[in-house]
C-alpha cells in the first residue's frame, strides 16, 4: 500500500507530532546538560558561572554515589525477578477455568490503578507500621517481636511495595500471551508424553519469551526512576537512596542545581547501560 | 499391535450429547477413515480415542486392555493435528526428537530414528530449520515424522491435509497410504473429504450427528449404501434421488442412481430433459439436466468427448441393474 505518494503524505502528517516529541525530549535534555556545567545555587547566590566538569567529578566522588547506583539496581532487579516469576504463576492460575474468573481478574489488576504515593502510604501505615500495622499484629499473634519493616528490612519492604504495584502489569501481559498459545500444541506435547512440568518448560515458557521480554523492558524503564514509594516511606534512608532520589536531594534539599543536573546525566548513562545490557540478554526474543 | 475397541462410548459437553452410545472395533493394521459432515463428532471421537477428552460413559480398549482412564501419553497412540501443532521455537530435529526425549530414549537411538524418519519423509535437508521456515506440506511431514518415531500402536490423523492445496493434498495422500503399506500400523484418519476416504481407507465409518450410519469397505459403501445419507455422502458427484411415480415403478419410496450409471444421448430413452450447466473436467463431463419431471436436477457423468451445450434436449438411459431402492424411512430395500 505504501506508494511513493502516500509515504510522503504520511511523513508530512507525522511531522508536527515528531517535532513536538523531539522538542519535548530535547529541551529538558539540553537544559540538564547546560546546568550540569554550571555552579548554580538558587538560594545561595544563583548562577555562579561555568565550572567545567567540576559537578561531574563531585557527584561521582561523593560517598553516596556508588551505593545509590547499587540500590537502584537492586530494586530494579528484585522487582523484575518477583514480578516475572509471580506474574507467570498468576497468569497460569488465571488461565485455568474457575468460578468467578471475571471478578478475580479485575481484583488482580486493581493494584495497578492505585497511585504509587497512595499505595506506598497504605503499605507503610496499614501493613508495615511496627505498632499498628497488620504485620505487627500478625507477628504478635504468633508471639514474635514485631519487625520495624521500613528501617530493619527497608530494601525488602520497598521491593515488596513496588512489586505489588507492578505485578498486575506483568500478570496481564503474560496472561494474554498464555491465552494466545495454541491449545493443540499443548495437546500434542501431552500425547508426546510430556509431564505438566515438561509442558511448562518446553512449550509454555518459550512461548512466553517475548512477553517476558516486553515486561522486563517496560518495567525497567519505569523502575529506574521510581521515586514516590521512597519519598513517602524511608525518605532515602536505611540504604534505599536510589540514583533518582540522590539527584532529588542534591537539587531540592541541597539546592544545588548544577550538581543534580550532572547526576541526571549519570542517570541517563546508567539507564542506557542497563538498556544495552537487557537488549543483549533478552532482545533477541523480540525478532520473530 | 493396535486393535481399538469402543464399547458403548458416549460423550456429552454439558447437556448436549455429541456422541450417543457408540460401538466400533478397529482391527490391528487397518486404515480406518471417519467421514461425515462438519460438526458430526469426528474430531470428538478421535480425541476420545486419543484420551484428550474423557468419555462420559462406556469403555475404550486398546489391544483388549481397558484404556478408558489411561492418560494420553500412556496409550501408545500418536496424533497428527490439523494445525500440525509443531513446537515453533524448536528446530525440525528437536520437534521430531521431542517424544523420544520425553520417553527417555538414549541419544544414539534418537538420532538413528530421526535420520530414518527424515529420509522416509524427505526432510533430511530441513532438519535444522524452524517450523516457521517450512512450507505447509513440509510442516505436515514433520508432524508425521514426530508421530512415526514414537513407534505407536496406532496413528490418529485429524484432517491432516485440509490446509494444503489440491496438488499437495494428492501427493500427501499417496505418501500416507505408502506409509501405511510400509508400517502396517493401525491408522485412524478423520476427514470430511469423501475422495480421501474412498482412496485411502480399508474401512470407512460414516458418521452423522455422532451416530455411525454405516461401516464398510469403500466399495461396499459405494455399491450398497445402507441408507439415503450414506448414498448421498459417498460418491462424487452425488447420487441422484428420484421420488414419486418413477420410484413407484421400482416399488420404492425413493430410488437412487449414480451420475456415472446414466447414459446421455439424443436417441430414444426413458427419461429426457434439457442441459442446464455442463462442467468439463477434460477426462469427464458432468451435465446438470433440468426439466426431467423426476427431480429438480439430474446429474450425469459422461465421457469428456461428449459435447452437449446449454439448452440442448437430451435423453437419459439409467442402468437398471444399479438402481438403489430406499423405503419411506430412507433405509435400503434389499434387492
Ligand atoms: N468443547 C466443546 N464444548 C461444547 N461442544 C463441543 C465441544 N467440542 C465440540 N463440541 C460440539 O460437538 C460437535 C462435534 O464436534 P467435532 O469437533 O467433533 O466435529 P467434527 O465432526 O470434527 O467437525 P469438523 O469436520 O468441522 O471438524 C459439534 O456440534 C461441536 O459444536
Ligand atoms: Mg474436526
The CATH number for B290's domain is 2.40.50.140
pLDDT at residue A2, as a whole number: 66
Same structural domain, B218 and B272 = no
Q: Of B230, B256, B285, at which residue does a domain stop?
A: B230
Mean of per-residue pLDDT scores for chain A? 88
Segment A149-162 mean pLDDT: 87
pLDDT at residue A40, as a whole number: 85
Same structural domain, B53 and B186 = yes
pLDDT in tens, A131-152: 888 888 888 889 888 888 888 8
Closest alpha carbon to B26 in B223, B202, B209? B202
Same structural domain, B218 and B251 = no
Residue B332 in any domain: the answer is no
Residue B331 in any domain: the answer is no
Same structural domain, B165 and B295 = no
pLDDT at residue A166, as a whole number: 92
Same structural domain, B161 and B309 = no
pLDDT at residue A1, as a whole number: 56
Same structural domain, B193 and B244 = no
CA B78 centroid distance within chain: 18
Residue A229: pLDDT band by 50, 70, 90 thresholds?
confident
Residues of B in contact with A188 (CB under 8 A): 79, 81, 85, 87, 146
Same structural domain, B280 and B173 = no
Same structural domain, B53 and B92 = yes
Percentage of chain A surpassing pLDDT 90? 38
**Class (C level, CATH) for A53-286:** mainly alpha
Same structural domain, B144 and B225 = yes
| Total tally of structural domains belonging to chain B | 2
Residues with CB under 6 A from ligand 1: B 13, 18, 36, 38-44, 192
pLDDT in tens, A258-285: 888 999 999 999 999 988 888 887 777 7
Q: Which of B51, B77, B85 sits opposite A188 (nearest CB)?
A: B85
Contact A209 B79 (CB under 8 A): no
Same structural domain, B167 and B299 = no
pLDDT at residue A288, as a whole number: 54
Same structural domain, B257 and B221 = no
Residues of B in contact with A194 (CB under 8 A): 73, 98, 102
pLDDT at A3 over 90: no
Residue pointed to by grid coordinates 509515504: A7
Contact B78 A191 (CB under 8 A): yes
pLDDT at residue B264, as a whole number: 92
> Minimal Cα–Cα distance from A86 to chain B, Å?
24
Residue nearest to ligand 1 atom 5, measured at CA: B13
Same structural domain, B150 and B299 = no
Extents of the domains making up chain A: 53-286
Pairing assessment for the beta strands B186-190 and B154-158 based on DSSP bridges: parallel
pLDDT at residue B5, as a whole number: 93
Higher-confidence position of A189 and A251: A189
Contact B103 A207 (CB under 8 A): no
> Minimal Cα–Cα distance from A184 to chain B, Å?
6
Residues of B in contact with A202 (CB under 8 A): 87, 90, 98
Please list the alpha-helical segments (H only) found in chain A. 4-36, 54-61, 65-95, 101-109, 116-122, 134-141, 149-152, 154-179, 183-191, 196-199, 205-223, 228-232, 243-248, 257-282
> Minimal Cα–Cα distance from A93 to chain B, Å?
21
Question: Which stretches of chain B score pLDDT less than 70?
Answer: 1
Q: Which of B83, B89, B102 sits opposite A192 (nearest CB)?
A: B102
Q: Which domain holds residue B10?
A: 4-230
pLDDT in tens, A19-53: 999 999 999 999 999 999 988 888 887 788 888 88
- Specify the length of chain B in residues: 335
pLDDT at residue B90, as a whole number: 92
Residue B335 in any domain: the answer is no
Segment A148-176 mean pLDDT: 90
Tell me the C-alpha distance between A136 and A155, whole Å: 18
The yes/no answer to whether this complex scores an ipTM above 0.85 is: no
- Give the global pTM: 0.80
Amino acid at each position: 500500500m505504501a506508494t511513493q505518494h502516500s509515504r510522503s503524505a504520511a511523513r508530512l502528517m507525522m511531522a508536527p507530532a515528531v517535532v513536538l516529541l523531539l522538542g519535548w525530549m530535547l529541551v529538558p535534555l539540553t537544559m540538564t546538560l547546560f546546568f550540569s556545567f554550571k555552579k548554580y545555587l538558587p538560594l545561595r547566590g544563583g548562577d555562579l558561572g561555568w565550572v567545567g566538569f567540576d559537578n561531574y567529578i563531585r557527584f561521582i566522588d561523593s560517598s553516596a554515589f556508588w551505593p545509590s547506583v547499587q540500590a537502584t539496581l537492586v530494586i530494579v532487579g528484585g522487582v523484575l525477578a518477583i514480578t516475572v516469576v509471580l506474574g507467570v504463576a498468576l497468569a497460569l492460575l488465571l488461565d485455568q477455568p474457575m468460578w468467578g474468573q471475571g471478578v478475580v481478574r479485575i481484583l488482580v489488576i486493581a493494584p495497578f490503578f492505585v497511585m504509587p504515593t497512595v499505595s506506598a502510604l497504605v503499605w507503610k501505615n496499614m501493613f508495615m507500621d511496627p505498632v499498628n500495622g497488620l504485620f505487627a499484629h500478625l507477628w504478635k499473634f504468633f508471639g514474635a517481636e514485631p519487625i520495624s519493616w521500613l528501617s530493619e528490612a527497608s530494601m525488602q519492604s520497598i521491593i515488596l511495595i513496588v512489586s505489588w504495584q507492578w505485578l498486575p502489569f506483568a500478570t496481564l501481559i503474560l496472561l494474554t500471551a498464555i491465552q494466545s498459545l495454541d491449545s493443540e500444541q499443548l495437546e500434542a506435547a501431552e500425547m508426546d508424553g510430556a509431564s505438566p512440568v515438561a509442558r511448562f518448560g518446553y512449550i509454555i515458557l518459550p512461548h512466553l519469551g517475548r512477553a517476558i521480554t516486553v515486561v522486563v523492558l517496560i518495567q525497567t524503564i519505569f523502575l529506574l526512576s521510581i521515586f514516590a514509594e521512597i519519598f513517602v516511606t524511608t525518605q532515602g534512608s536505611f540504604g534505599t537512596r536510589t540514583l533518582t532520589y540522590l539527584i532529588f536531594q542534591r537539587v531540592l534539599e541541597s539546592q544545588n542545581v548544577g550538581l543534580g543536573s550532572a547526576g541526571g546525566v549519570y542517570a541517563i548513562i546508567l539507564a542506557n547501560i542497563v538498556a544495552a545490557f537487557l537488549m543483549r540478554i533478552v532482545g533477541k526474543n523480540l525478532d520473530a | 499391535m493396535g486393535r481399538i475397541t469402543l464399547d458403548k462410548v458416549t460423550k456429552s459437553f454439558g447437556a448436549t450429547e455429541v456422541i450417543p452410545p457408540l460401538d466400533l472395533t478397529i482391527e490391528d493394521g487397518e486404515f480406518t477413515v471417519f467421514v461425515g459432515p462438519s460438526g458430526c463428532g469426528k474430531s470428538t471421537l478421535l480425541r476420545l480415542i486419543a484420551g484428550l477428552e474423557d468419555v462420559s460413559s462406556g469403555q475404550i480398549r486398546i489391544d483388549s486392555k481397558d484404556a478408558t482412564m489411561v492418560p494420553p501419553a500412556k496409550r501408545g497412540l500418536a496424533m497428527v493435528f490439523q494445525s500440525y501443532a509443531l513446537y515453533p521455537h524448536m528446530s525440525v530435529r528437536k520437534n521430531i526428537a521431542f517424544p523420544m526425549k520425553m520417553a527417555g530414549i538414549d541419544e544414539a537411538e534418537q538420532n538413528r530414528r530421526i535420520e530414518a524418519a527424515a529420509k522416509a519423509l524427505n526432510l533430511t535437508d530441513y532438519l535444522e530449520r524452524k517450523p516457521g521456515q517450512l512450507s505447509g506440506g513440509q510442516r505436515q511431514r514433520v508432524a508425521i515424522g514426530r508421530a512415526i518415531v514414537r513407534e505407536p500402536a496406532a496413528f490418529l490423523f485429524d484432517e491432516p491435509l485440509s490446509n494444503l492445496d489440491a496438488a499437495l493434498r494428492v501427493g500427501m495422500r499417496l505418501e500416507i497410504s505408502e506409509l501405511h503399506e510400509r508400517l502396517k500400523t493401525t491408522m485412524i484418519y478423520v476427514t470430511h473429504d469423501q475422495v480421501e476416504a474412498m482412496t485411502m481407507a480399508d474401512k470407512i465409518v460414516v458418521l452423522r450427528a455422532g451416530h455411525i450410519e454405516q461401516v464398510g469397505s469403500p466399495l461396499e459403501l459405494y455399491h450398497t449404501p445402507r441408507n439415503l445419507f450414506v448414498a448421498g455422502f459417498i460418491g462424487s458427484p452425488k447420487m441422484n434421488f428420484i421420488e414419486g411415480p418413477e420410484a413407484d415403478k421400482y416399488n420404492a419410496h425413493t430410488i437412487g442412481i449414480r451420475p456415472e450409471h446414466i447414459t446421455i444421448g439424443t436417441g430414444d430413452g426413458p427419461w429426457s430433459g434439457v442441459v442446464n450447466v455442463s462442467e468439463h473436467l477434460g477426462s469427464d463431463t458432468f451435465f446438470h439436466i433440468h426439466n426431467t419431471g423426476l427431480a429438480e436436477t439430474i446429474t450425469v457423468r459422461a465421457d469428456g468427448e461428449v459435447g452437449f451445450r446449454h439448452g440442448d434436449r437430451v435423453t437419459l438411459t439409467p442402468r437398471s441393474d444399479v438402481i438403489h431402492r430406499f423405503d419411506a424411512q430412507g433405509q435400503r430395500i434389499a434387492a
